[in-house]
Structure formats: structure tokens, C-alpha cells
Chain A
């Protein structure tokens, strides 16, 4: 995986993990709309990159997925955080904060 993609996915991963840490067992659409709502429509998650990101995180063992039956007879795939995912979230969150603080400082003091 290229470094470039890593950086972009880093932000998406962080958001997804954070949402899942607050509310467990969400399906993809709910994760997307939650991010949108909380950010007051500023952050729009690209639907095209959400699912590959979810599957990749499942592969890494950060999230766990499960099929549940919906009222309309279809199935939905819901995700929840694993303990490895929680650890990741902690790391990513502190790194993000450090980076954000650094960017802010540059913006303010430069």
C-alpha cells in the first residue's frame, strides 16, 4: 500500500473508529451519516472509499462485522470495535491531535 493512500485513509479510519467507539453495531450507511451529521455536513465521507476501508480494518482485526436481519427482510452488515481497534483509535487520535496542534501553531505563529 502506498504511503499516500495511507495518509488519506488515516483520517477516514480515525473517523470511523471514533464513531464506532461511541455507538457500536452500526452499518455502513449509518457510519457515513453519523460522520456527516456530527460534522454538520462539513465532512462528507465518500461512499466509494468507506467500504474498502471497513473491510481493510476488518482484515487488520480493528473492527468485527456481523450480519443482522432487518425488518424489510434484507440483511445488513453491522460493525463494532475490537480491543485492537480501541488501541488503534487511541494511537491515531493522539497522533492526529499532535499533528493538528502542530498545524495550528504554524497557522497562528507563521
Chain B
């Protein structure tokens, strides 16, 4: 009976028992048919149950017995060679821990279905087409009036739910001094019902809570926020808080598992979509649309119903366009609506981190294979010393399958021990990595439950590792020729196998190192990218007021900050550069539209001095200049909009956004380029405009918020942060500081992903290298021991140490070289897969390819040294005496 069938028997005891019963029953029938007395037959038969047990035991016990014996023997083998076993288990534990941690992250980010009903029938409604500047894009945002029509169009076949892109909101439960920042999401009132979620306290929204714009101001708290803020106090339901100048009432708490639909962000406060200003605007795209299909409804059916609705809506909207070009209109009307599976939710972070995490997952897989190769090598080497034992077992009649079972169980012990240790590592490592995705204002938050998915993965991984590790030695066992082995002969293939494994390790090691090099270079390039201004010693205080405050209030606060010791200069801006905010518009020159999309930022006089952005031409704003009217532009703007010549005194216009009117600006100054939106793209054409606007009678208008740009004198702006915060409210109690960051922190948010990739890839490269070094050491050591007699003879015959060293390292060098070459090929063939994650670095850069080659080669040399030394120190006399 094959091992497979016996294993199946183990899992099919019930069926086996039934079969035996049936056979006995058939015997019984036969006896009755022969005319025997039923009572007599039963007596002759004895207890049917006893027979059944005896029969089943005959079929199972043999195998279970051998399994137990092999398991005990395997464990004894491991205990016998404690150090090597410990090395194998630890290296495997590290790799398996990495693999489990990687899986937890990937699963939580990309794969795990949302804890809602019918996650498998959840789709995102997205639009595909060309953007304003001709770039192909898939957009998942929607306009509310269109959403209402879409929902009506597919009623009965699918339920549509609107979910805003989560944002950071400020709320206060008591006084305004205690501002809290929360993740807020606007959701359709019927969302909770559609997802079949039950409240943890109070009640959840219903469709009635989401019917009229701005009414009623209800909120649902998330379970995590309820726990963090109120210690799960049921009386939190019914409390009120202030947010965006409105009073909201808490009506309930969402269930524990539901953290929103955006992996990477946990929502704290849900509010109905009707509380969002955008619900009445046909030109505001501010939420995602999720569709929950009814059972049996085809995706295409829903799609075909939604497409014409969107088309009609867009055509109506296009009639209102006055200034847009024909090309823009054509692109606007040529959009395709698609339904994409969204069972695991949707988030910007998911899109941004999908590829990096998959790449890290692949690197981890390679580290794991390197570790497996080590264990396989180890077992092969051990099998060498047990060669005679194996041969003996075969010659006294052990089946080869039985020997494979023995090896499998040995590697299973290793894998189980490693997965236990690795599990502990993964338990710590996954949250550690999530915590590294930490832009200051929106750190990644990820639920990382140790659920059955992780457990199952770990179990499967353990099985797979046990199998892979036992594969090579098993192949060897099946070749053993007892007669030869018992005589002490051995074929060369064992060493060849080990060398092949070393070549594989070298190849994987190279690929990991190569990728790590690319990521590290990318991070370095981006981190040292000139920004166009001096980021050091800049503190940004973002302040807001409940009611817009007159310019004097802001100026006073500004002056107060400027007078503080340690402060060199202070200016105001709408927001700091590179913090993610943007304000843009198409530029008109000489009354004609251009294709140039320029970025705008309102700044106070002194902004350029404070930021240390150099003046090229012209002057700064004056205190009495206000928006619109004058503008200071950067060099990119001069090049792209003003044909690069005599910019001072020229005029340009920007669309105001109503489709008809435009603002006019006169260029009074030109400054150097500075990054506005992100560090990766080329310098954007930028226009700086005066900070305060003017009303119709020419007075400067009040403002509700601003960012103070503070340049400090000292080396550590952080030490000033506390004082700066209180100083603003000290000067003007109406103003309160909602956020304090340094410019360096803000800039770092643009390299969070690159830093993460660089750090982790470098770590994997180091681990991979270490494991490969262990592999080289082990194999060389083995081959020296194996050939010590031969080496002894050669030394006795007068061979020089150099020759011996050459001999023992020869094969190894060739294999390592082959491995590196293979790795190089793989690296070049796959580099396009990570191209989108790289910046300003090419795979053909000599540094990226030569470094890993040198490192791997020198590591191999170092790892080979002990073996070589052992070889040349062999004492010919003692060697020849052996045997």
C-alpha cells in the first residue's frame, strides 16, 4: 500500500470502518444464505466490534508505528548534532519569521476580505480614461449627484454605497483647548445595513439619517476610538462634539472588526454623506463608490446599466464648460466605467504600497529559499555520515519510501521548531514594519489579527519548508546502492548536489543584494534631492481660527513669533511646500489658454527670505499688495508660460474655476525653482501670490487659517516647538495651533516608502548574505573532510598549500560564479518590475552590479577560509594511518 493511501486511510478512518462493517455484514448474509442459524453464526463470529478493531488496526497500526519510530529517531538525530541543528533551526526561523511577517502585512493590506457581509460581491465603481494632460488614469472618485442617479439605475440588482476618502478632522468634546485629530469618513446612511454590521453600542446610521443636506448632525464612533477615548463607556453614546463648526451627536459605535474600508487607515468617526458640502456639487469628486451586487447578478449587467448614466451626466456637465479646449472635452466625454473587485477594500495606501510589499515578499521568499538550501545542505552532509546506516537499512529490507519518510520527519522537526521561533519573530516584526510607514500626519494603521489565515499560512509554510528541505537528501537516498555503500564507496554526486545548492544561494543572494542596492540608491537620491530651499531649522505652525480673523490678527501673531529669542525670521503661507496641499489652474497668456497647469501658493512678504529661495529678478511683495494683482513666479513658470524672456511686468491669467472668469496677475519678481508637490517630478511651474485677498471695496479680507513658517537660529528647532505653540495663542487667543512640524519632517514624508524599501531590502540582503556564507562554509568543510585522505596523499607527495587551496576551492568558485551570473541575468530580466519604485538610478550603474558581486565574492572567500586552512593543515602522516 502506498504511503499516500495509508495517509489517506488515516484521514478516512470512518470510511475504513464502514468498509470493514460492510464486509463482515456480507459474510453474515452469506452464512444465512447457506442455511445456518443466525444465533450460531453470531456466536461463532464473536463481537463484530472486536473484529472491526482488529482489522482496522492491522491496516493502520503498522504505519502509525513506523511514523512514531521515525519521529523519535529524527528528534534523536537532531539532538545528537546540537550545534548544527541549532544553526539550521535559527537560520530557518529567521527566514520563516520573515515570511510569516511578510504574509501578515500583505494579507492585511491587500488580500484579507473586509469583515462585512458579502465581501465577495463587493466591487468598486471606477472610471478609466485620459486625464486633463493626456495621462491614462483610473479614477475611483465620484460626484454625488451622479451617484444618486447611478444608485437609482441599478436598484434591485446592486446596492451602491458612497464612502468619502478618509481625512484628518479636528474635533473637541469639551473646550477648544483640547483638540483631537481623528480619521473621519463620510459614509452613506445605508452602508452599515448593506454591510450587515451591528452596533457595539447605541445604534448605527440608517437611510433616514442621510436624506437632507446638513441634517441631522449625527456621528458613529469606531470601536477602537470608543475604546481609546472613552474606555468603552456606554455613556459615550449621546455625547456631543464640535467638528467643522458644527455640533455632532454620537449615536452609536461600529462593530469591533470593522475599521473602515481603507486598508492602512482606521476610521475613528463616521458621519453621513449629507454632512459633506460636496453632495450638492456636480463638479466635486470626493468619495468612492462601492457596489454590493445581489446574488446571481452579473458584473457586466450592472456595468452596462451604469455606463449610460455616467455618459448622460457628463454630457450635461460638458454643456456648462465654456473655456475648456476641444481636446479636453473629447477626453472628458470618452470615459469608461468599470467595476473592479474590492473585497479587501480600497485605499490610496494600498495602491502606493502594493508593489513595494509584493517586492519585499519576493525578496523574503528568496531569503527563505537560501535558508532552505542551507538546511538541505546540512542534512545532505549529515546523511553522508549516515550513508552506511541508510545502506544497511535498505539491505535489511527497509523500503526507500520508508527512508524518505524518515528524512521528511527529520526535516519536519527542524521546520516545526523553526516555525515556532519564527512565529515569535513575526509577531514582533509585522507591527514593526507597519510603524515604519509613518508620515507624521497619517501613519499607517493596520489591523494585524493572528487569525486562521495567518495560522494556515504558517502551517502550510512549515509543511512546504519541511518538504523542500528533505527533497535533496531524499533524492540522494533513493540512489543509494547498498552493496557499494556498505563497501564504503560513494559517488561524487552528493558533493555536486551541495555545490548546486551553493550556486542557487549565490544567485538568490545576488538578486536580493542587487534589488537592495537599487532601493538604497533611490532613497539616497531622493533624500538628497535639492529642494530649492533650505529645509534645516524651519518650523511650520499651522494655525486656524473658528471665525476668519482680520489680517492684523495674523500679522500680530507673526510679529510675536519673530520677536522670540532663537527665531530668525517668520513668514506666512497658505501651507508649507511639499505637505501635500496644492492649488492649481491652467494659465492664460495674452488672452489665450495654454496647456500649462501651474501651481499657486499664497505667501506673505518675507516668505522667500525665510525659506531661502533665491531671487533671480525683481522684488518681494509689499505689505499692501493683495490677491489678485501681483505674482512672483519661479523659473520653470518663466520658461513654460512666458517663453523665458523679460518676465517682469508681463501679465498672465488663471481660471477662477467657475468656467467663465479669470484672475489677472502682473509678474513682479522671479525666484528660483522649489519643489512644491513632490520630489520625484520635475520642478512644477509655480506662481506665488499675496497672502491676503481683497474684497470688492478694496479692503484686505480676513483669513481662517495659515501656516507660520519660522526659521530658527539654533541647531535644534524641536526645542522651540513647545514655546512657539503657546506664543501664538498668547498673541491672539482667537488663533490656535493645530499642527507643528519641521520642514525636514514634511520632506521626509515623501521618502517614507523609499526608506522602508531601502531599510528592509538592505536587511534582507544582510540576512541572505549571512545564510549563504554559512552555506559556503558548510559545503567546503564537508568536502574537505570527505577528501582529507586524498589531500593527505597529495601533501605527502609534496603538493604545496596553494595547490591544495586551489583544489578545494576550485569547484566552489566556479559554482559561485555561475550563481552570480544567473543572479545577474535574473536581476536584469526582472528589474522592470520594480522600475516604478526607483528614482534616478539604473540597473546598469556599475555600482549597483559590481558591489554585490564584490561583496558576495569576498563573503565566499571569508566563509571558505576555515575549510581551506583545515585542508592545508592536514597531517599527511596521520591521514595515511587511518583505515
Contacts and interface: CB of A to CB of B under 8 A. Distances in A.
The number of chain A residues touching the other chain, given as a range, is 20 to 34
Contacts of A33: 34
B59 interface: yes
A56 interface: yes
Nearest to B56: A55
Nearest to B53: A52
Nearest to A28: B27
Contact of B26 (A46, A52, A61, A76): A76
A74 B30 CA distance: 11
B464 to A, nearest CB: 30
A71 B23 CA distance: 16
A48 B45 contact: yes
B22 A55 contact: no
A74 B26 contact: yes
B770 to A, nearest CB: 48
The number of chain B residues touching the other chain, given as a range, is 20 to 34
Contacts of A56: 58
Contacts of B25: 74
A47 B22 CA distance: 15
A70 to B, nearest CB: 8
Contact of B44 (A27, A47, A58, A70): A47
Contact of B51 (A52, A70, A75): A52
B31 interface: yes
Given A47-B45, A59-B1, A27 B55 contact: no
A76 B25 CA distance: 9
A51 B55 contact: yes
Nearest to A54: B55
A61 B1 contact: yes
Given A29-B27, A51-B55, A52-B55, A59 B44 contact: no
B454 interface: no
Contact of B59 (A29, A55, A76): A55
Interface in A43-75: 46-48, 51-52, 55-56, 58-59, 61, 70, 72, 74-75
A29 B31 contact: yes
Nearest to B42: A47
A70 B30 CA distance: 11
A87 to B, nearest CB: 14
Contacts of B826: none
A29 B30 contact: yes
B55 A48 contact: no
Counting chain A CB atoms within 10 Å of each CB, which of B19, B30, B56, B62 scores highest? B30
Given A29-B31, A33-B34, A59-B59, A48 B26 contact: no
A59 B2 CA distance: 10
A103 B59 CA distance: 34
A27 B28 CA distance: 12
Contacts of A77: 19, 22-23, 26
B116 interface: no
B27 A27 contact: yes
B810 interface: no
A84 to B, nearest CB: 12
B138 interface: no
A59 to B, nearest CB: 6
B811 interface: no
Interface in B24-56: 24-27, 29-31, 34, 41, 44-46, 50-51, 54-56
Interface in B1-28: 1, 19-20, 22-27
Contacts of A30: 30
Contacts of A59: 1, 58-59, 62
A55 B55 contact: yes
Contacts of A75: 22, 26
A72 B30 CA distance: 11
Given A48-B46, A55-B58, A72 B34 contact: no
A49 to B, nearest CB: 8
Contacts of B41: 47
A33 B41 CA distance: 13
Nearest to A51: B55
Contacts of B19: 77
Nearest to A74: B26
Contacts of B59: 55, 58-59
Contacts of A70: 26
A27 B54 contact: no
Contacts of A61: 1
Given A59-B1, A75-B22, A77-B23, A52 B58 contact: yes
Interface in B338-374: none
Contacts of B46: 47-48
Counting chain A CB atoms within 10 Å of each CB, which of B27, B41, B56 scores highest? B27
B50 A48 contact: yes
A30 B34 CA distance: 11
B27 A52 contact: no
A27 B26 contact: yes
Contact of B23 (A46, A48, A51): A51
A77 B22 CA distance: 9
B10 to A, nearest CB: 14
Given A51-B51, A59-B1, A74 B58 contact: no
Interface string B55-82: 1111100100000000000000000000
Contact of A47 (B27, B55, B56, B57): B27
Contacts of B51: 48, 51-52
A66 to B, nearest CB: 12
Contacts of B31: 29
B1 A52 contact: no
A53 B44 CA distance: 16
A27 B56 CA distance: 18
A27 B62 CA distance: 24
A25 B34 CA distance: 19
B54 A52 contact: yes
A28 B58 contact: no
For the complex of A and B, list the 9 residue pairs with the smallest distance between their C-beta atoms, beginning with the closest: A29-B30, A52-B54, A56-B58, A48-B46, A55-B58, A55-B55, A77-B23, A76-B26, A29-B27
22 contacts: A27-B26, A28-B26, A29-B27, A30-B30, A47-B41, A47-B44, A48-B45, A48-B46, A51-B24, A52-B51, A52-B54, A52-B55, A52-B57, A55-B55, A56-B58, A58-B1, A59-B1, A70-B26, A74-B22, A74-B26, A74-B29, A76-B23
Interface of A: 27-30, 33, 46-48, 51-52, 55-56, 58-59, 61, 70, 72, 74-77
